[in-house]
Amino acid sequence: MREHESTMRRGRRKFDDDDTNFLKRGRLEPRLAEEPDLPETGDNWSSWDGALHGPQPRPDWVRTEHAAVDDELGMLKTGKEADVFLVRRHVPGTTKVSMLAAKRYRDGDHRLFHRDAGYLEGRRVRRSRENRAMANRSSFGKEMIAGQWAVAEFGALSRLWEIGQASGLVRVPYPVQLIGTELMLEFIGDWATGEAAPRLAQVRTDHDGLADLWRQMTDALSVLARAQLAHGDLSPYNTLVRDGKLILIDLPQIVDVVGNPHGADFIARDVRNVAGWFTQRGLRVDADELLERLLYEAGLK
145 against 4, higher pLDDT: 145
Q: Domains of the chain, with CATH numbers?
A: 197-301 (1.10.510.10)
What is the rounded distance in angstroms from the CA atom of residue 285 to the CA atom of residue 212?
Answer: 12
82-122 confidence digits (pLDDT tens): 999 999 999 999 999 999 999 999 865 544 444 455 544 55
Contact between 216 and 246 (Cβ < 8 Å)? yes
How far the first Cα of the chain sits from its last, in Å, is 92
Write the DSSP string, 22-76. Answer: PPPTTPPPPPPSS-TT--SSSSEE---TTSEE--SSPPTT----TT-EEEEEEEE
211-266 confidence digits (pLDDT tens): 999 999 999 999 999 999 999 999 999 999 999 999 999 999 899 999 999 999 99
pLDDT score at 166: 94
Angle formed by the axes of helices 139-167 and 207-226, to 10°?
110
What is the rounded distance in angstroms from the CA atom of residue 97 to the CA atom of residue 67?
Answer: 12
pTM of the model: 0.79
Q: Say if residue 135's pLDDT is above 50.
A: no
154-193 confidence digits (pLDDT tens): 999 999 999 999 999 999 999 999 999 999 999 999 999 9
Phi, psi of 38 (to 5 degrees): -80, 145
